[in-house]
């Protein structure tokens, strides 16, 4: 499991019916079956099936005698959970004024949050201009390119020019056709109110997109750190989590750089890596209040 979002969907502890520990000894079975590879490494498919079948038949014969002990231990474990942990859970829920339905709801919301992408589209804006449209403050007219100047360039540059001119003509036809269908009588000028409003929206949209991305990375980081401090987490698992966090930190650093670049317009609070890496709780991350999906009020 490479990150928290993947674990929420595919980790055995999150899937009902897979047991409480080691997939109910299935992990031990698969681990022991690795010994079969010594004799099947260079064998044919037929002998693969033969030796694997022999292994599991022998496993069943050896473990059948211990079946009663396994069922007895599982019964004791279930009895311990119902007699000791269930009352503690009920008391905790009562003190927090929540129910089991709330826990299930928060679980589904968490899975939905990590699996969703922020919707920053706007119907009014999409009807007017593409998402990746680049605005230029300068003059909209470009000086014409003469044929004589192109003669001085290489054949490759001339070919590129012809391809670009053909693409421009196709795009111009599409733009004119769109303008007729949308009944656009006049083009925007840099001083038009609608143009200024759209440029402002583009800046805010880029800011919110980078902030939403940074928000998700910070939340995943907090969940991974919380799991690292859980009791019962083995050394190998801790090592794996630490390596994953190191990789994740680099991603967060890139997200912080992208956020600071977009926070300049509109003016917003900048962020440095030293500050972002020391967040322990979501309440400390004040920038999350400005995202489209404000989860600061979530438990």
pLDDT digits (tens, 9 = 90+) for 220-231: 766 766 665 554
Q: What is the pLDDT of residue 244?
A: 60
Number of domains in the chain: 2
Q: Which domain, by its residues, includes 51?
A: 22-65
Using an 8 Å Cβ cutoff, are 114 and 8 in contact? Answer: yes
Residue 268 pLDDT exceeds 60:
no
Average pLDDT of every residue of the chain? 72
Confidence tier at 17 by pLDDT (50, 70, 90): confident
- Give whichever of 94-103, 124-133, 224-233 has the largest mean pLDDT: 94-103
Question: Which token pair is 299?
Answer: 């438990």
Query: Whole-angstrom Cα distance, residue 227 to residue 240?
Result: 12
Quote the CA–CA distance of 135 and 205 in Å, as a whole number: 14
State the chain's maximal CA–CA distance in angstroms. 94
**Would you say residue 225 lies in a domain?**
yes
Residues 6 or more apart whose Cβ sits within 8 Å of residue 264: none
For residue 120, give the DSSP letter. -
Tell me whether residue 229 is in a domain: yes
**Residue 131 maps to a domain:** no
* Residue 110 belongs to a domain: no
pLDDT level of residue 259 (50, 70, 90 thresholds) = low
Q: What 8-state DSSP symbol labels residue 98?
A: -
pLDDT of res. 274: 54
In a domain, 213, yes or no: yes
Distance from C-alpha of 55 to C-alpha of 37, rounded to nearest angstrom: 11
Q: How far is CA 39 from the centre of its chain?
A: 42
User: Given pLDDT bands bounded at 50, 70 and 90, which one contains residue 115?
Assistant: confident
On whether residue 198 sits in a domain, the answer given is yes
Q: What is the mean pLDDT of residues 124-140?
A: 51
- d(CA 15, CA 78) in angstroms, rounded, equals 18
The single residue listed with the structure tokens 């006049």 is: 186
Domain for residue 149, yes or no? no
Q: Are 256 and 274 in contact (CB under 8 A)?
A: no
Residue 180 lies in a domain: no
Q: How far is CA 16 from CA 39, 88, 112, in A?
A: 36, 21, 18
d(CA 1, CA 240): 10
How many residues appear in the chain? 299
Measure the CA–CA gap between 291 and 20, rounded to whole angstroms.
37
How many whole angstroms separate alpha carbon 41 and alpha carbon 109? 46
Domain boundary among 48, 65, 82: 65
- How much is the pTM? 0.42
| Residue whose pair of structure tokens reads 């401090």 in the numeric block | 229
Share of the chain above pLDDT 90, in %: 3
Among 37, 65, 93, give the residue marking a domain's end. 65
Boundary residue ending a domain (46, 65, 84): 65
The lowest-confidence range among 66-80, 103-117, 139-153, 207-221 is 139-153
């Amino acid at each position: 499991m490479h990150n928290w979002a993947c674990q929420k969907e595919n980790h055995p502890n999150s899937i009902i019916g897979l047991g409480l520990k080691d997939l109910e000894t299935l992990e031990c079975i698969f681990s022991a079956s690795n010994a079969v590879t010594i004799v099947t490494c260079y064998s044919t498919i037929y002998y693969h099936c033969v030796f694997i079948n022999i292994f599991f038949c022998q496993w069943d014969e050896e473990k059948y005698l211990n079946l009663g002990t396994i069922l007895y231990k599982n019964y004791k474990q279930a009895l311990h959970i119902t007699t000791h942990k269930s009352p503690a859970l009920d008391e905790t829920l009562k003190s927090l004024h929540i129910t089991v339905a709330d826990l299930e709801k928060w679980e589904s919301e968490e899975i939905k949050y990590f699996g969703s992408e922020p919707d920053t589209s706007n119907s009014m804006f999409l009807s007017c201009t593409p998402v990746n449209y680049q605005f230029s403050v300068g003059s909209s007219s470009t000086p014409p390119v003469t044929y004589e100047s192109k003669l001085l360039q290489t054949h490759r540059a001339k070919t590129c020019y012809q391809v670009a001119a053909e693409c421009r003509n196709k795009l111009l036809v599409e733009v004119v056709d769109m303008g007729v269908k949308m009944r656009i009588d006049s083009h925007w000028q840099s001083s038009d109110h609608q143009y200024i409003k759209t440029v402002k929206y583009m800046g805010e949209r880029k800011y919110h997109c980078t902030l939403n991305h940074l928000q998700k990375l910070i939340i995943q980081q907090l969940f991974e750190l919380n799991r690292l401090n859980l009791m019962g987490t083995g050394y190998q698992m801790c090592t794996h989590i630490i390596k994953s966090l190191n990789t994740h930190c680099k991603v967060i650093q890139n997200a912080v750089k992208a956020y600071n670049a977009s926070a300049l317009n509109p003016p917003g609070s900048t962020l440095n890596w030293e500050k972002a890496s020391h967040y322990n709780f979501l309440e400390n991350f004040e920038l999350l209040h400005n995202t489209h999906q404000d989860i600061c009020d979530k438990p």
